[in-house]
């Protein structure tokens, strides 16, 4: 961020997590991606949405971890879950069966229509960087009723054209999802460290609807690889409340302390 | 019919060079001890199948044991990328391997179809995606009742599946609990199955009636290897060694350091070494 702005009392990353958490409702059944989505989903649960159902792809249904898991299958997730099911049951009955209201995903590379690449940078057969791959994201992106995406902005991450279509957003825009027979809404919200974006109702291109406190249009454009569209009625995201900030910081402190504990590494 | 065997024998009786092998475990109960035994015995030309090939396949690929890897997420969980896997895909070191890549839903469905004795798994997915263009085994079928286009992938039926579980009883029935992942399907889909366990108990008489149990006649060999899932965890026995996952990121970043580490911690080690590795991670609960 820019040095000259007065310290707002929170970091852009904290604002991102908190803005993302606010998008979730108490009655949501949310399939949680690891990393930034996991923090946002748990802050929602620990603040305004105590009854939210959080689901991780390892099969943990209705989990309430006291610390953020490092992986999607940490012991904490199973120990605090209502129940734990097998992986095929998770993907077949719970996700494909239509029980998930929100799929919350991160992205390595994202385009303006919410298509996500987590597979390769460069050519698939001769990649510059081989990324981990699809995981659960492709079917979350098409089977969850709607998709929220959260990621920090950068020109490398938010690009005009992604190198590989790992997870389908709105494709080429417009009614591309419907034309492929996909029945769910797809990405309906993108929460970054600078702004909240929603797809244009017709073109489906992500449009900035709210900028976080202290953020300018230039800052949003300079960290984004496509030409940014701004809504006519541009809002300012409310600053984090005291409760949101203290809850987030306490969660991160508990998490850091727990992850430092280890055994006698062999 | 399951037989209790030392790990070296359980592996040599059931794995051969050229096999399609699955060492399954979804973050929890990863069969590291069995994978390390396979590395010590030096098998080659394996087709390695796993949803989440984390550290053990990174090690096997780096040791030049794989001809092909079938997977859906090749990452170091909670840390980042798999550096030995990247080295073979990006630079062909120590030799190039074939990659057959899916999503989690696809492989989960494919194991389930394998366990169900079907040649194909059908599910809703892959609309408009790049994987369908680079993997010829991702196809589609039209539902004969509704006309809906659905994704189809071949079922997974490994020659042999290795898993780690909490315990066996004396008869050789196996109990898995906690995050049960895909292990039951992976065992039932395979021609042969080998299980490492934390301990053997007299019987399962007092347990809940709906637990995940693999009857003794579904398993070919059982080896008792306490700590055998390290650095992953065994629910009820010991926690996840997060520091080891971070350490692997550094070890695997350099080819010489990798080979040195493998020599010291795998080639010159034994299955009995796993117990000490989890000593500090055991819970008092």
Say yes or no for a CB contact (<8 Å) between A86 and B182.
Answer: yes
- Min Cα distance A55 → chain B (Å) is 13
Which residues of chain B does A125 touch, with a Cβ-Cβ cutoff of 8 Å? 134
- Min Cα distance B14 → chain A (Å) is 26
* Residue A57 known to be catalytic: yes
- Contacts with A, B 195-254, CB within 8 Å: 212, 230-231, 233, 235, 238-245, 247
pLDDT tier, B77 (very low <50, low <70, confident <90, very high otherwise)? confident
pLDDT tier, A71 (very low <50, low <70, confident <90, very high otherwise)? confident
| Average pLDDT, integer, range B17-40 | 97
d(CA A245, CA A223): 25
| Catalytic residue selected from A14, A27, A57, A253 | A57
pLDDT tens digits, one per residue of A39-64: 999 999 999 999 999 999 999 999 99
Is the Cβ–Cβ distance between B101 and B71 less than 8 Å? yes
Is the Cβ–Cβ distance between B34 and B7 less than 8 Å? yes
Q: Percent of chain A beyond pLDDT 70?
A: 95
- Min Cα distance B16 → chain A (Å) is 28
pLDDT tens digits, one per residue of A175-189: 999 999 999 999 999
The pLDDT value given to residue A121: 94
- Contacts with A, B 252-271, CB within 8 Å: 265
| Average pLDDT, integer, range B173-181 | 97
- The yes-or-no verdict on residue A219 having pLDDT over 50 is yes
Average pLDDT, chain B: 95
Q: Where are the domains of chain A?
A: 12-260
Average pLDDT, chain A: 94
pLDDT tier, A151 (very low <50, low <70, confident <90, very high otherwise)? very high
- DSSP assignments along A38-54, one per residue: HHHHHHHHHTT-TTPEE
- The yes-or-no verdict on residue B105 having pLDDT over 50 is yes
Peptide bond into B270 cis (omega under 30): no
pLDDT tens digits, one per residue of A76-126: 999 999 999 999 999 999 999 999 999 999 999 999 999 999 999 999 999
d(CA A140, CA A116): 12
Torsion of CA B262, B263, B268, B270, to 10 degrees: 0
Which residues of chain A does B78 touch, with a Cβ-Cβ cutoff of 8 Å? 34, 69-71, 74
The pLDDT value given to residue B10: 98
Q: Are strands A195-199 and A229-236 parallel, antiparallel or unpaired?
A: unpaired
Rounded alpha-carbon distances, angstroms, from residue A143 to B6, B39, B123: 45, 39, 11
d(CA A17, CA A248): 8
The pLDDT value given to residue A4: 59
Name the CATH topology of A12-260: Glutaconate Coenzyme A-transferase (3.40.1080)
Q: Is B30 on the interface with A (CB under 8 A)?
A: no
Domains of chain B, first to last: 3-102+157-278 (3.40.1080.10), 104-154 (no CATH)
d(CA A131, CA B5): 39
d(CA A4, CA B28): 47
Rounded to two decimals, what is the model's pTM?
Answer: 0.95
d(CA A32, CA A104): 5
d(CA A244, CA B208): 41
- The yes-or-no verdict on residue A127 having pLDDT over 60 is yes
Could you tell me how many CB contacts below 8 A there are between chain A and chain B?
203
Sign of the C-alpha dihedral computed for residues A57, A59, A63 and A69 taken in this order: negative
pLDDT tier, A5 (very low <50, low <70, confident <90, very high otherwise)? low
């Amino acid at each position: 961020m820019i040095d000259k702005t007065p310290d707002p009392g929170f970091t852009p990353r904290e604002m991102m997590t908190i803005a993302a958490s606010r998008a979730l409702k108490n009655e949501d059944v949310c399939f949680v991606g690891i990393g930034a989505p996991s923090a946002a989903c748990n802050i929602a649960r620990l603040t305004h949405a105590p009854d939210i159902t959080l689901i991780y792809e390892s099969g943990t249904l209705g989990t309430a971890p006291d610390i953020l898991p490092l992986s999607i299958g940490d012991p904490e997730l199973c120990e605090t879950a209502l129940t734990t099911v097998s992986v095929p049951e998770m993907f077949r009955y719970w996700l494909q069966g239509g029980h998930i209201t929100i799929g919350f995903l991160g992205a390595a590379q994202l385009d303006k229509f919410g298509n996500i690449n987590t597979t390769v940078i460069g050519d698939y057969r001769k990649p510059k960087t081989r990324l981990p791959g699809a995981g659960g994201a492709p079917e979350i992106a098409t089977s969850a009723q709607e998709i929220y995406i959260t990621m920090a902005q950068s020109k490398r991450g938010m690009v005009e054209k992604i190198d590989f279509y790992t997870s389908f957003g709105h494709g080429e825009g417009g009614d591309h999802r419907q034309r492929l027979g996909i029945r769910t809404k797809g990405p309906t919200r993108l929460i970054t460290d600078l702004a909240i974006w929603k797809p244009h109702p017709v073109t489906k291109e992500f449009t900035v609807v709210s900028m976080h406190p202290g953020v300018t249009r230039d800052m949003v454009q300079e960290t984004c690889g496509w030409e940014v569209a701004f809504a006519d009625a541009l809002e300012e995201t409310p600053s984090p409340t005291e409760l949101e900030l203290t809850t987030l910081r306490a969660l991160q402190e508990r998490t850091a302390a727990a992850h430092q504990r280890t055994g006698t590494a062999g | 019919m399951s037989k209790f065997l030392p790990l070296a024998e359980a592996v040599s009786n059931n794995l051969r060079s050229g096999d399609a092998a699955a060492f399954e475990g979804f973050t929890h109960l990863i069969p590291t001890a069995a994978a390390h035994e396979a590395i010590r015995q030096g098998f080659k030309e394996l087709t390695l199948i796993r949803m989440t090939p984390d550290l053990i396949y990174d090690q096997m690929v780096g040791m030049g044991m794989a001809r092909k890897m079938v997977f859906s997420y090749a990452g170091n969980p909670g840390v980042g990328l798999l550096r030995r896997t990247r080295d073979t895909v990006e630079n062909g070191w120590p030799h190039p391997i074939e990659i057959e890549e899916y999503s989690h839903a696809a492989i989960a469905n494919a194991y389930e179809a394998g366990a169900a004795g079907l040649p194909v798994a059908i599910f809703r997915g892959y609309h408009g995606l790049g994987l369908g263009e680079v993997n010829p085994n991702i196809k589609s079928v039209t539902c004969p009742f509704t006309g809906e286009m659905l994704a189809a992938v071949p079922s997974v039926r490994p020659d042999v599946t290795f898993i780690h579980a909490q315990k066996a009883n004396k008869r050789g029935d196996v109990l898995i609990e906690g995050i049960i992942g895909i292990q039951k399907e992976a065992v039932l889909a395979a021609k042969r199955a080998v299980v490492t366990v934390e301990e053997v108990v007299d019987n399962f008489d007092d347990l809940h009636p709906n637990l995940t149990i693999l009857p003794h006649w579904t398993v070919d060999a059982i080896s008792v290897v306490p700590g055998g899932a390290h650095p992953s965890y065994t629910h009820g026995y010991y926690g996840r060694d997060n520091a080891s996952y971070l350490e692997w990121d550094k070890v695997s970043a350099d080819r010489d350091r990798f080979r040195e580490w493998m020599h010291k911690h795998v080639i010159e080690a034994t299955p009995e070494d796993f117990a000490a590795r989890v000593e500090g991670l055991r819970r008092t609960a």
